[in-house]
Structure 1
Amino acid sequence: MATRPEPDGDGESGATLRAAVYSELRHRLITGRIAPDVPISTRGLAQQLGVSQMPVRDALSRLAAEGAVAIRSKRRITVPPPTPARLEEIMRARLLLEPEAAAQALPYLDGSTIEALRAADAALDAALARDDLHGYMESNWRFHFLIYRGRPQSLLANIIETLWMQFGPLMRTVYGRVGTAHLTDQHHRAIDAIARRSEPALRAAIAADIADGMALIGGLDKAA
Protein backbone atom coordinates (compact mmCIF):
# COMPACT_ATOMS: atom_id res chain seq x y z
CA MET A 1 0.00 0.00 0.00
CA ALA A 2 1.04 3.64 -0.30
CA THR A 3 3.02 4.88 2.64
CA ARG A 4 1.75 8.46 2.36
CA PRO A 5 0.13 9.45 5.68
CA GLU A 6 -3.57 10.27 5.48
CA PRO A 7 -6.20 11.39 8.01
CA ASP A 8 -7.21 8.73 10.52
CA GLY A 9 -10.66 10.13 11.31
CA ASP A 10 -14.12 8.84 10.55
CA GLY A 11 -14.50 10.61 7.21
CA GLU A 12 -14.16 9.07 3.77
CA SER A 13 -10.36 9.41 3.71
CA GLY A 14 -10.09 7.77 7.14
CA ALA A 15 -12.28 4.86 6.06
CA THR A 16 -10.20 4.46 2.91
CA LEU A 17 -7.02 4.40 4.96
CA ARG A 18 -8.38 1.81 7.39
CA ALA A 19 -9.45 -0.38 4.47
CA ALA A 20 -6.00 -0.06 2.87
CA VAL A 21 -4.21 -0.98 6.11
CA TYR A 22 -6.51 -3.96 6.65
CA SER A 23 -5.98 -5.12 3.06
CA GLU A 24 -2.19 -4.88 3.41
CA LEU A 25 -2.08 -6.81 6.69
CA ARG A 26 -4.48 -9.40 5.28
CA HIS A 27 -2.15 -9.88 2.30
CA ARG A 28 0.89 -10.21 4.56
CA LEU A 29 -0.87 -12.97 6.48
CA ILE A 30 -1.99 -14.77 3.32
CA THR A 31 1.52 -14.80 1.90
CA GLY A 32 3.19 -15.78 5.18
CA ARG A 33 4.99 -12.51 5.83
CA ILE A 34 3.76 -12.41 9.42
CA ALA A 35 5.18 -15.35 11.34
CA PRO A 36 3.27 -17.30 13.99
CA ASP A 37 3.97 -16.71 17.68
CA VAL A 38 6.10 -13.62 17.00
CA PRO A 39 4.86 -10.45 18.75
CA ILE A 40 3.19 -8.03 16.36
CA SER A 41 4.06 -4.40 17.08
CA THR A 42 1.37 -1.88 16.20
CA ARG A 43 4.00 0.84 16.36
CA GLY A 44 6.34 -1.08 14.07
CA LEU A 45 3.60 -1.78 11.52
CA ALA A 46 2.46 1.84 11.64
CA GLN A 47 6.00 3.00 10.91
CA GLN A 48 6.35 0.53 8.03
CA LEU A 49 3.06 1.66 6.48
CA GLY A 50 3.51 5.37 7.14
CA VAL A 51 0.33 5.72 9.18
CA SER A 52 -0.66 6.29 12.80
CA GLN A 53 -1.26 3.36 15.12
CA MET A 54 -5.05 3.79 15.11
CA PRO A 55 -5.79 2.23 11.68
CA VAL A 56 -3.33 -0.57 12.46
CA ARG A 57 -5.14 -1.32 15.72
CA ASP A 58 -8.48 -1.25 13.89
CA ALA A 59 -7.18 -3.68 11.27
CA LEU A 60 -5.74 -6.03 13.88
CA SER A 61 -9.04 -6.04 15.79
CA ARG A 62 -10.85 -6.97 12.60
CA LEU A 63 -8.32 -9.72 11.85
CA ALA A 64 -8.69 -11.05 15.39
CA ALA A 65 -12.46 -11.30 14.89
CA GLU A 66 -11.74 -13.38 11.78
CA GLY A 67 -9.46 -15.73 13.72
CA ALA A 68 -6.24 -14.68 11.99
CA VAL A 69 -4.50 -13.12 15.01
CA ALA A 70 -4.87 -13.38 18.78
CA ILE A 71 -4.92 -10.24 20.93
CA ARG A 72 -3.95 -11.05 24.50
CA SER A 73 -3.21 -7.46 25.48
CA LYS A 74 -1.97 -4.24 23.86
CA ARG A 75 1.55 -5.66 24.11
CA ARG A 76 0.75 -9.24 23.17
CA ILE A 77 -0.63 -9.65 19.66
CA THR A 78 0.43 -12.71 17.66
CA VAL A 79 -0.60 -15.19 15.01
CA PRO A 80 -1.47 -18.37 16.94
CA PRO A 81 1.29 -21.00 16.60
CA PRO A 82 0.60 -23.93 14.28
CA THR A 83 -0.45 -27.39 15.29
CA PRO A 84 -0.77 -30.36 12.93
CA ALA A 85 -4.45 -30.68 13.84
CA ARG A 86 -5.17 -27.02 13.02
CA LEU A 87 -3.31 -27.23 9.75
CA GLU A 88 -5.17 -30.36 8.75
CA GLU A 89 -8.50 -28.71 9.54
CA ILE A 90 -7.65 -25.72 7.36
CA MET A 91 -6.39 -27.89 4.51
CA ARG A 92 -9.50 -30.07 4.57
CA ALA A 93 -11.65 -26.95 4.36
CA ARG A 94 -9.59 -25.86 1.36
CA LEU A 95 -10.05 -29.27 -0.20
CA LEU A 96 -13.82 -28.89 0.07
CA LEU A 97 -14.03 -25.32 -1.25
CA GLU A 98 -11.24 -24.67 -3.73
CA PRO A 99 -11.98 -27.30 -6.42
CA GLU A 100 -15.57 -26.01 -6.45
CA ALA A 101 -14.43 -22.37 -6.71
CA ALA A 102 -12.16 -23.29 -9.62
CA ALA A 103 -14.98 -25.16 -11.36
CA GLN A 104 -17.33 -22.17 -10.96
CA ALA A 105 -14.67 -19.84 -12.37
CA LEU A 106 -13.78 -22.00 -15.38
CA PRO A 107 -16.29 -20.43 -17.83
CA TYR A 108 -14.75 -17.02 -17.16
CA LEU A 109 -11.09 -18.01 -17.62
CA ASP A 110 -9.84 -16.96 -21.05
CA GLY A 111 -6.55 -16.86 -22.93
CA SER A 112 -5.29 -13.81 -21.07
CA THR A 113 -5.93 -15.56 -17.77
CA ILE A 114 -3.98 -18.59 -18.96
CA GLU A 115 -1.03 -16.39 -19.85
CA ALA A 116 -1.17 -14.72 -16.42
CA LEU A 117 -1.30 -18.16 -14.79
CA ARG A 118 1.75 -19.28 -16.77
CA ALA A 119 3.62 -16.16 -15.65
CA ALA A 120 2.67 -16.76 -12.01
CA ASP A 121 3.74 -20.40 -12.25
CA ALA A 122 7.07 -19.44 -13.83
CA ALA A 123 7.68 -17.01 -10.96
CA LEU A 124 6.80 -19.80 -8.51
CA ASP A 125 9.27 -22.19 -10.16
CA ALA A 126 11.98 -19.53 -10.04
CA ALA A 127 11.31 -18.95 -6.34
CA LEU A 128 11.55 -22.68 -5.63
CA ALA A 129 14.84 -22.88 -7.53
CA ARG A 130 16.41 -20.18 -5.36
CA ASP A 131 14.73 -21.43 -2.15
CA ASP A 132 12.81 -18.15 -1.82
CA LEU A 133 9.98 -18.94 0.59
CA HIS A 134 8.31 -15.54 0.38
CA GLY A 135 8.52 -15.51 -3.41
CA TYR A 136 7.02 -18.99 -3.54
CA MET A 137 4.09 -18.11 -1.29
CA GLU A 138 3.38 -14.85 -3.13
CA SER A 139 3.35 -16.59 -6.52
CA ASN A 140 1.31 -19.50 -5.21
CA TRP A 141 -1.32 -17.12 -3.84
CA ARG A 142 -1.41 -15.20 -7.11
CA PHE A 143 -1.84 -18.40 -9.14
CA HIS A 144 -4.73 -19.73 -7.11
CA PHE A 145 -6.66 -16.48 -6.89
CA LEU A 146 -6.26 -15.71 -10.58
CA ILE A 147 -8.45 -18.80 -10.92
CA TYR A 148 -10.87 -18.37 -8.02
CA ARG A 149 -11.50 -14.69 -8.68
CA GLY A 150 -12.06 -15.36 -12.36
CA ARG A 151 -15.74 -15.57 -11.54
CA PRO A 152 -16.98 -12.03 -10.79
CA GLN A 153 -18.10 -11.39 -7.22
CA SER A 154 -17.26 -14.90 -6.12
CA LEU A 155 -18.47 -15.56 -2.57
CA LEU A 156 -16.37 -18.73 -2.42
CA ALA A 157 -13.21 -16.78 -3.29
CA ASN A 158 -13.85 -14.44 -0.36
CA ILE A 159 -14.35 -17.35 2.03
CA ILE A 160 -11.23 -19.10 0.74
CA GLU A 161 -9.14 -15.96 1.15
CA THR A 162 -10.18 -15.80 4.80
CA LEU A 163 -8.98 -19.39 5.18
CA TRP A 164 -5.69 -18.44 3.56
CA MET A 165 -5.17 -15.76 6.23
CA GLN A 166 -4.73 -18.63 8.67
CA PHE A 167 -3.09 -20.95 6.13
CA GLY A 168 -0.31 -18.52 5.11
CA PRO A 169 1.48 -18.03 8.46
CA LEU A 170 1.08 -21.67 9.41
CA MET A 171 2.42 -23.01 6.13
CA ARG A 172 5.32 -20.59 6.35
CA THR A 173 6.29 -22.48 9.52
CA VAL A 174 5.88 -25.85 7.82
CA TYR A 175 7.88 -24.83 4.75
CA GLY A 176 10.52 -23.28 6.99
CA ARG A 177 10.96 -26.57 8.87
CA VAL A 178 10.61 -29.18 6.15
CA GLY A 179 11.66 -27.06 3.17
CA THR A 180 10.16 -26.54 -0.29
CA ALA A 181 12.49 -28.79 -2.26
CA HIS A 182 10.02 -31.67 -2.39
CA LEU A 183 6.96 -29.65 -3.38
CA THR A 184 5.25 -30.95 -6.51
CA ASP A 185 4.02 -28.36 -9.01
CA GLN A 186 0.45 -29.31 -9.89
CA HIS A 187 -0.12 -25.98 -11.58
CA HIS A 188 0.76 -27.25 -15.04
CA ARG A 189 -2.10 -29.72 -14.74
CA ALA A 190 -4.47 -26.92 -13.76
CA ILE A 191 -3.40 -24.74 -16.69
CA ASP A 192 -3.80 -27.64 -19.10
CA ALA A 193 -7.28 -28.36 -17.71
CA ILE A 194 -8.31 -24.73 -18.17
CA ALA A 195 -6.99 -24.70 -21.73
CA ARG A 196 -9.02 -27.87 -22.46
CA ARG A 197 -12.08 -26.49 -20.63
CA SER A 198 -12.15 -29.67 -18.55
CA GLU A 199 -13.92 -29.14 -15.23
CA PRO A 200 -13.11 -32.63 -13.85
CA ALA A 201 -9.42 -32.23 -14.68
CA LEU A 202 -9.32 -28.77 -13.09
CA ARG A 203 -11.00 -30.02 -9.94
CA ALA A 204 -8.50 -32.89 -9.77
CA ALA A 205 -5.49 -30.61 -10.27
CA ILE A 206 -6.55 -28.21 -7.52
CA ALA A 207 -7.33 -31.10 -5.16
CA ALA A 208 -3.92 -32.68 -5.87
CA ASP A 209 -2.18 -29.38 -5.19
CA ILE A 210 -3.88 -29.08 -1.81
CA ALA A 211 -3.20 -32.74 -1.01
CA ASP A 212 0.53 -32.13 -1.57
CA GLY A 213 0.37 -29.44 1.09
CA MET A 214 -1.48 -31.78 3.43
CA ALA A 215 1.28 -34.34 2.99
CA LEU A 216 3.82 -31.85 4.31
CA ILE A 217 1.90 -31.49 7.55
CA GLY A 218 2.97 -35.01 8.48
CA GLY A 219 6.57 -33.81 8.51
CA LEU A 220 5.92 -30.96 10.92
CA ASP A 221 6.49 -32.90 14.14
CA LYS A 222 9.43 -34.82 12.66
CA ALA A 223 11.17 -31.59 11.65
CA ALA A 224 10.39 -29.74 14.89
Structure 2
Amino acid sequence: MQKIEHRTLTELAYDEITQGMVSGRFLPGQVLIIRALADSYGISATPIREALQRLVAEHRLDVLPNRSIAVPKISKDKYLELLRIRCALEGLAAELATPNIDAASLEELGRMLDELEESVRENSSEGYVALNQKFHFHIYEKANSPHLLKMIQDLWSRVGPLFNELFADPDFVNHANDEHRRIYAALERGDPAEVYDCLVRDIHVSASSLHARG
Protein backbone atom coordinates (compact mmCIF):
# COMPACT_ATOMS: atom_id res chain seq x y z
CA MET A 1 0.00 0.00 0.00
CA GLN A 2 1.36 3.42 -0.95
CA LYS A 3 2.02 5.72 1.98
CA ILE A 4 0.08 8.97 2.18
CA GLU A 5 2.45 11.90 1.71
CA HIS A 6 2.44 14.37 4.57
CA ARG A 7 3.55 17.88 3.71
CA THR A 8 3.59 20.81 6.08
CA LEU A 9 2.14 24.20 5.21
CA THR A 10 5.67 25.55 5.09
CA GLU A 11 6.63 22.96 2.47
CA LEU A 12 3.52 23.77 0.46
CA ALA A 13 4.28 27.49 0.67
CA TYR A 14 7.88 26.85 -0.34
CA ASP A 15 6.74 24.84 -3.38
CA GLU A 16 4.19 27.47 -4.43
CA ILE A 17 6.62 30.37 -4.17
CA THR A 18 9.32 28.40 -5.98
CA GLN A 19 6.87 27.52 -8.75
CA GLY A 20 5.94 31.18 -8.96
CA MET A 21 9.57 32.02 -9.62
CA VAL A 22 9.99 29.16 -12.11
CA SER A 23 6.92 30.21 -14.10
CA GLY A 24 7.76 33.91 -14.07
CA ARG A 25 4.91 34.90 -11.78
CA PHE A 26 7.26 37.24 -9.93
CA LEU A 27 9.44 39.99 -11.41
CA PRO A 28 13.15 40.70 -10.86
CA GLY A 29 13.49 43.04 -7.91
CA GLN A 30 9.91 42.46 -6.75
CA VAL A 31 9.47 42.66 -2.99
CA LEU A 32 7.51 39.68 -1.68
CA ILE A 33 4.92 40.78 0.87
CA ILE A 34 4.19 38.08 3.42
CA ARG A 35 0.56 39.10 4.05
CA ALA A 36 -0.20 39.35 0.34
CA LEU A 37 1.26 35.90 -0.32
CA ALA A 38 -0.60 34.44 2.65
CA ASP A 39 -3.89 35.84 1.35
CA SER A 40 -3.12 34.61 -2.17
CA TYR A 41 -2.39 31.05 -1.05
CA GLY A 42 -5.07 30.98 1.66
CA ILE A 43 -2.74 30.15 4.55
CA SER A 44 -1.34 32.01 7.56
CA ALA A 45 1.70 34.26 7.50
CA THR A 46 3.96 31.92 9.50
CA PRO A 47 4.53 29.23 6.83
CA ILE A 48 5.03 31.96 4.21
CA ARG A 49 7.68 33.61 6.39
CA GLU A 50 9.43 30.28 6.99
CA ALA A 51 9.35 29.42 3.26
CA LEU A 52 10.83 32.81 2.36
CA GLN A 53 13.59 32.36 4.93
CA ARG A 54 14.42 28.97 3.43
CA LEU A 55 14.66 30.50 -0.05
CA VAL A 56 16.89 33.26 1.32
CA ALA A 57 19.16 30.60 2.89
CA GLU A 58 19.36 28.93 -0.53
CA HIS A 59 20.36 32.28 -2.08
CA ARG A 60 17.29 32.27 -4.31
CA LEU A 61 15.83 35.37 -2.67
CA ASP A 62 17.58 38.47 -1.38
CA VAL A 63 17.22 40.36 1.90
CA LEU A 64 17.22 44.12 1.27
CA PRO A 65 18.73 46.68 3.66
CA ASN A 66 15.26 47.43 5.04
CA ARG A 67 14.84 43.68 5.78
CA SER A 68 12.34 43.18 3.00
CA ILE A 69 12.69 40.01 0.92
CA ALA A 70 12.88 40.40 -2.84
CA VAL A 71 13.38 38.45 -6.06
CA PRO A 72 17.03 38.95 -7.06
CA LYS A 73 18.16 41.04 -9.99
CA ILE A 74 20.68 38.95 -11.91
CA SER A 75 23.92 40.50 -13.13
CA LYS A 76 25.08 39.96 -16.71
CA ASP A 77 27.96 37.70 -15.63
CA LYS A 78 25.75 35.55 -13.43
CA TYR A 79 23.14 35.27 -16.17
CA LEU A 80 25.76 34.09 -18.67
CA GLU A 81 26.99 31.53 -16.16
CA LEU A 82 23.45 30.22 -15.64
CA LEU A 83 22.95 30.18 -19.41
CA ARG A 84 25.88 27.81 -19.93
CA ILE A 85 24.62 25.49 -17.19
CA ARG A 86 21.06 25.59 -18.53
CA CYS A 87 22.17 24.58 -22.01
CA ALA A 88 24.08 21.58 -20.65
CA LEU A 89 21.39 20.33 -18.25
CA GLU A 90 18.26 21.15 -20.24
CA GLY A 91 19.79 19.85 -23.45
CA LEU A 92 20.63 16.59 -21.67
CA ALA A 93 17.11 16.32 -20.23
CA ALA A 94 15.55 16.85 -23.67
CA GLU A 95 17.87 14.28 -25.19
CA LEU A 96 17.03 11.70 -22.52
CA ALA A 97 13.33 12.47 -22.84
CA THR A 98 13.10 11.93 -26.59
CA PRO A 99 12.65 8.12 -26.57
CA ASN A 100 9.91 8.53 -23.94
CA ILE A 101 7.81 11.05 -25.87
CA ASP A 102 4.80 9.01 -27.00
CA ALA A 103 1.76 9.98 -29.06
CA ALA A 104 -0.11 11.27 -26.00
CA SER A 105 2.82 13.50 -25.04
CA LEU A 106 3.08 14.86 -28.58
CA GLU A 107 -0.63 15.61 -28.54
CA GLU A 108 -0.28 17.49 -25.25
CA LEU A 109 2.73 19.43 -26.54
CA GLY A 110 0.78 20.26 -29.69
CA ARG A 111 -2.03 21.72 -27.58
CA MET A 112 0.50 23.80 -25.69
CA LEU A 113 1.90 25.10 -28.99
CA ASP A 114 -1.58 26.21 -30.01
CA GLU A 115 -2.04 27.96 -26.67
CA LEU A 116 1.38 29.60 -26.99
CA GLU A 117 0.39 30.92 -30.41
CA GLU A 118 -2.81 32.30 -28.91
CA SER A 119 -0.89 34.05 -26.16
CA VAL A 120 1.30 35.71 -28.80
CA ARG A 121 -1.73 36.84 -30.81
CA GLU A 122 -3.20 38.34 -27.64
CA ASN A 123 0.17 39.87 -26.73
CA SER A 124 -0.13 38.15 -23.36
CA SER A 125 3.34 38.07 -21.85
CA GLU A 126 2.06 36.46 -18.64
CA GLY A 127 0.27 33.70 -20.54
CA TYR A 128 3.23 33.06 -22.80
CA VAL A 129 5.76 32.84 -19.95
CA ALA A 130 3.61 30.37 -17.99
CA LEU A 131 2.94 28.19 -21.05
CA ASN A 132 6.59 28.29 -22.07
CA GLN A 133 7.50 26.83 -18.70
CA LYS A 134 4.87 24.09 -19.03
CA PHE A 135 6.06 23.20 -22.54
CA HIS A 136 9.68 22.83 -21.46
CA PHE A 137 8.99 20.93 -18.27
CA HIS A 138 6.58 18.54 -19.97
CA ILE A 139 9.61 17.45 -21.98
CA TYR A 140 12.10 17.44 -19.11
CA GLU A 141 9.85 15.31 -16.92
CA LYS A 142 9.95 12.61 -19.59
CA ALA A 143 13.70 12.21 -19.00
CA ASN A 144 12.74 10.19 -15.89
CA SER A 145 15.66 11.73 -14.00
CA PRO A 146 14.40 13.31 -10.75
CA HIS A 147 17.78 14.74 -9.73
CA LEU A 148 18.31 16.33 -13.13
CA LEU A 149 14.79 17.77 -13.05
CA LYS A 150 15.41 19.24 -9.60
CA MET A 151 18.57 20.97 -10.82
CA ILE A 152 16.70 22.43 -13.79
CA GLN A 153 13.90 23.65 -11.51
CA ASP A 154 16.50 25.37 -9.35
CA LEU A 155 17.94 27.12 -12.43
CA TRP A 156 14.50 28.24 -13.61
CA SER A 157 13.67 29.65 -10.18
CA ARG A 158 16.63 31.98 -10.74
CA VAL A 159 16.01 32.96 -14.36
CA GLY A 160 12.22 32.53 -14.64
CA PRO A 161 11.42 36.08 -13.44
CA LEU A 162 13.52 37.48 -16.30
CA PHE A 163 11.29 35.88 -18.93
CA ASN A 164 8.65 38.53 -18.25
CA GLU A 165 10.89 40.93 -20.18
CA LEU A 166 10.83 38.92 -23.43
CA PHE A 167 7.74 40.63 -24.83
CA ALA A 168 9.52 43.99 -24.59
CA ASP A 169 11.41 42.87 -27.72
CA PRO A 170 9.11 43.04 -30.80
CA ASP A 171 11.48 40.88 -32.82
CA PHE A 172 11.28 38.12 -30.22
CA VAL A 173 7.48 38.30 -30.20
CA ASN A 174 7.38 37.91 -33.98
CA HIS A 175 9.33 34.65 -33.73
CA ALA A 176 8.39 33.56 -30.20
CA ASN A 177 7.41 30.01 -31.15
CA ASP A 178 9.75 29.25 -34.03
CA GLU A 179 12.11 27.24 -31.85
CA HIS A 180 9.26 25.50 -30.05
CA ARG A 181 7.97 24.25 -33.39
CA ARG A 182 11.44 22.98 -34.28
CA ILE A 183 11.67 21.16 -30.95
CA TYR A 184 8.27 19.60 -31.57
CA ALA A 185 9.23 18.48 -35.09
CA ALA A 186 12.46 16.93 -33.80
CA LEU A 187 10.52 15.07 -31.11
CA GLU A 188 8.13 13.78 -33.77
CA ARG A 189 11.13 12.41 -35.67
CA GLY A 190 12.47 10.87 -32.46
CA ASP A 191 15.99 12.21 -32.98
CA PRO A 192 17.64 12.84 -29.57
CA ALA A 193 20.63 14.74 -31.00
CA GLU A 194 18.36 17.03 -33.02
CA VAL A 195 16.11 17.63 -30.02
CA TYR A 196 19.18 18.55 -27.97
CA ASP A 197 20.33 21.05 -30.62
CA CYS A 198 16.86 22.59 -31.02
CA LEU A 199 16.39 22.93 -27.28
CA VAL A 200 19.76 24.63 -26.80
CA ARG A 201 19.03 26.97 -29.72
CA ASP A 202 15.73 27.92 -28.09
CA ILE A 203 17.54 28.83 -24.87
CA HIS A 204 20.03 30.95 -26.79
CA VAL A 205 17.34 32.79 -28.75
CA SER A 206 15.57 34.00 -25.62
CA ALA A 207 18.90 34.72 -23.93
CA SER A 208 20.02 36.85 -26.89
CA SER A 209 16.85 38.91 -26.63
CA LEU A 210 17.32 39.48 -22.90
CA HIS A 211 21.04 40.10 -23.26
CA ALA A 212 20.53 42.71 -25.98
CA ARG A 213 18.50 44.80 -23.56
CA GLY A 214 20.28 43.81 -20.37
TM-score by length of 2: 0.89
Partner of 2:196: 203
Tell me how many residue pairs correspond in the alignment. Answer: 208
Which whole-Å CA distance do the structure 1 matches of 2:168 and 2:81 have between them?
20
Partner of 1:86: 78
Which whole-Å CA distance do the structure 1 matches of 2:175 and 2:77 have between them?
21
Letter in 1 for 2:79: L
Unaligned runs of 5+ in 2: none
Percent identity of paired positions between Structure 1 and Structure 2: 28
Letter in 1 for 2:37: L
TM-score by length of 1: 0.85
Partner of 2:213: 220
Does the 8 Å contact 1:98/1:160 carry over to 2? yes
Correspondence for 2:153 among 146, 161, 181: 161
Which whole-Å CA distance do the structure 2 matches of 1:218 and 1:38 have between them?
20
Deviation at 1:153, TM superposition (A): 4.2
Does the 8 Å contact 1:32/1:169 carry over to 2? yes
Which whole-Å CA distance do the structure 2 matches of 1:74 and 1:152 have between them?
43
Which whole-Å CA distance do the structure 2 matches of 1:208 and 1:121 have between them?
17
Partner of 1:37: 29
Q: Deviations over 1:64-123 (max 9, x none)?
A: 233321124784110112333232222221111111111112222111111111111111
Matched ranges for 1:125-140 at <5 A = 125-140=117-132
Which whole-Å CA distance do the structure 1 matches of 2:38 and 2:176 have between them?
38
Matched ranges for 1:60-99 at <5 A = 60-72=52-64, 75-99=67-91
Does the 8 Å contact 1:88/1:217 carry over to 2? no
Letter in 1 for 2:192: E
Does the 8 Å contact 2:60/2:157 carry over to 1? yes
Which whole-Å CA distance do the structure 1 matches of 2:199 and 2:116 have between them?
16
Which whole-Å CA distance do the structure 2 matches of 1:155 and 1:139 have between them?
23
Does the 8 Å contact 2:32/2:69 carry over to 1? yes
Partner of 1:17: 9
